[in-house]
Amino acid sequence: MNEILSVSTIVGILYSAIRLATPYLYAGIGEAFSQSSGVVNLGVDGIMLISAYAAFFVVLNTGNIWLGLAAAIFVGFLMGLLMSLISITLKAEQGISGIGLFMFGLGLSSLLFKTTIGTVKTVTGFQAIKIPLLSDIPIFGEIFFNHSLLVYGAFLLVPAAWWVLEKTTWGLKIKSVGQNPAAADSLGVNVDQVRYFSVCLGSILAGIAGASLSISLLNLFQDNLTAGQGFIAVALVYFGGWKPIGIMWGALLFSAVNAFQLWMQVLGIKIPSDIAIMLPYLLTIAALAVTVNRVRSPAALNKPFERGEN
């Protein structure tokens, strides 16, 4: 019991929680942009996988982590274009096209990995960077100020996304298109264009989420690297009420449970890990059930827009 409450353990758990929240933050906030404009993108997991592969492959062959990140961003953008084409221009059922995109991303990343790399290897990715002065603060310094750039980026994304959505005209356009596309259309807003933009932005962020896994947090690529994290990210958008700060708390909750479970194992304290892993999913369903009346989803979510048909 003393060991659980020891300072070093708590510091360790919080440090891990912050690290592990990174992919959820990128992917979740990206999905929030997409959903705020009315498009559900279930393909996030597949986008993360193919982008993670791209980033890993580039770093493995060039050693340049920034090139790797650029590759992930580019691949994420391409997948976003594909999703936009199918769901916005071709007005397909968004839930299913998202699953198709997921299957495609999963299969393609696995195919490419097995044929071009073959076995699991590690690379030197984004390393942890100690922020001078701040990281020397006892306890808080260790928890918050000794992470890699992608981790810092994920948390800086929270206020940045909030600002874009709440304080810029672009954010206003995105939200209006998600709430009442017909009205936005009559005011001269190009609904499809705004949706293309937010879906692609969401996909780019999902791509960065994938890169955060393969060239920062884990520094490796394996088959199905994400193991469903993309789907969790989509759930986090609901959990967080489509607000970046809510998504952040949801992501931290998930990753904290995960980190806690890891540390308990290391300390030799037996908790049934299967139940511990189940907890975040149970929590999400509970949250979904509880919050649905209090939180408003974008009214036009999951409805393709056709001028004159609505």
Partner 1 sequence: MKSKLFVLFLLLTILVSACAPAATEAPAAKLRVALIMPSAITDMAFSQSMYSALVAVQKEMGGEAAMEIKYSENMFKVPDAAAAIRDYASQGFDIVVAHGSQYGASVEEVAKDFPKVTFAWGTDVNTFGLPNVYAYTAAAEQGGYINGVMAAMLTKTKTIGVTGPVEVGDAKTYIDGFVQGVASVNADIKVSKTWTGSFSDVALMTEAAKTHIAAGADVLTGSSQSVVGSIGAAKENGTVLWFGTQSDQATLASNLVVASQVYDWSGMIKDIVSKRKAGTLGGEKYVLELKNDGLKISFNSGYPLTAEAKAAAEKAIADIKSGAIKVNP
Partner 2 sequence: MARTNDTKAISTFAKSLVSRLSKIVLPPVVYNTLLPASGMVIALIIGALMLMLLKVNPISAYSALFGGAFGSISGLTQTIVKATPLLLVGLGICIAFRASVINIGGEGQIIVGALAGTWFPLAFRTLPGWMLIPLTILAGFLAGAAWGFVPGILKARLKVNEILSTVMMNAIALQLMNLMIRSVLMDPAGVTAGTYLAQSERLPEQVWLTRLIPQTLLHTGSIIAVVLAVAVYIFLWRTTIGYRIRAVGLNPDASRFAGINVPFYQALSLTLAGGFAGTAGAIEVIGVQHRLLEGITSGYGFSGIVAALFGGLHPLGTIPAAILFGGLLVGGDKMQRAVQVPSSLIDAILGLVVLFVVGSALWSRRIAAQQQRAAVARASASKAAEVHA
Point out which residues bind partner 2 (CB under 8 A).
Answer: 40, 42, 46, 82, 85-86, 90-93, 95-97, 99-108, 110-112, 114-116, 223, 228, 231, 234-235, 238, 272, 274-275, 277-278, 281-282, 284-285, 288-289, 292-293, 297
**Other Cβ atoms closer than 10 A to 269:** 11
With CB under 5 to 8 Å by kind, the binding choice for 9 among partner 1, partner 2, none is: partner 1
Nearest to 208 by CA among 303, 68, 39: 68
Nearest to 42 by CA among 217, 292, 287, 238: 238
- The conformation of residue 222, written as its DSSP 8-state character, comes to -
Q: Which stretch binds partner 1 (CB under 8 A): 33-41, 118-126, 131-139, 170-178?
A: 118-126
Which residues from 12-71 bind partner 1, rule CB under 8 A? 12, 15-16, 20
Give the DSSP H or E segment for 103.
helix 94-116
Q: Give, in order, the Cα–Cα distances in Å from 66 to each of 72, 132, 137, 162, 218.
A: 10, 22, 30, 26, 16
Instruction: Tally the residues of the chain.
Output: 310
How near is the Cβ of 104 to partner 1 at its closest, in Å? 20
**What is the SS3 string spanning 183-231?**
HHHHCCCCHHHHHHHHHHHHHHHHHHHHHHHHHHHCCECCCCCCCCHHH
User: Judged by CB, which is closer to partner 1: 118, or 138?
Assistant: 118
Q: Which of 166, 223, 306, 310 binds partner 1 (CB under 8 A)?
A: 223
Q: Does 130 bind partner 1 (CB under 8 A)?
A: no
How near is the Cβ of 43 to partner 1 at its closest, in Å? 21
With CB under 5 to 8 Å by kind, the binding choice for 127 among partner 2, partner 1, none is: partner 1
With CB under 5 to 8 Å by kind, the binding choice for 303 among partner 2, partner 1, none is: none
* Strand stretches in the chain, DSSP E: 128-130, 146-148
Q: Does 213 bind partner 1 (CB under 8 A)?
A: yes
How many CA atoms within 13 Å lie on the side-chain side of 2?
0
Tell me which residue has tokens 């979740």. 28
With CB under 5 to 8 Å by kind, the binding choice for 267 among partner 1, partner 2, none is: partner 1
With CB under 5 to 8 Å by kind, the binding choice for 85 among partner 2, partner 1, none is: partner 2
Q: Which stretch binds partner 1 (CB under 8 A): 25-33, 111-119, 232-240, 286-294?
A: 111-119
- Virtual CA dihedral for 240, 242, 243, 244, nearest 10 degrees? 80
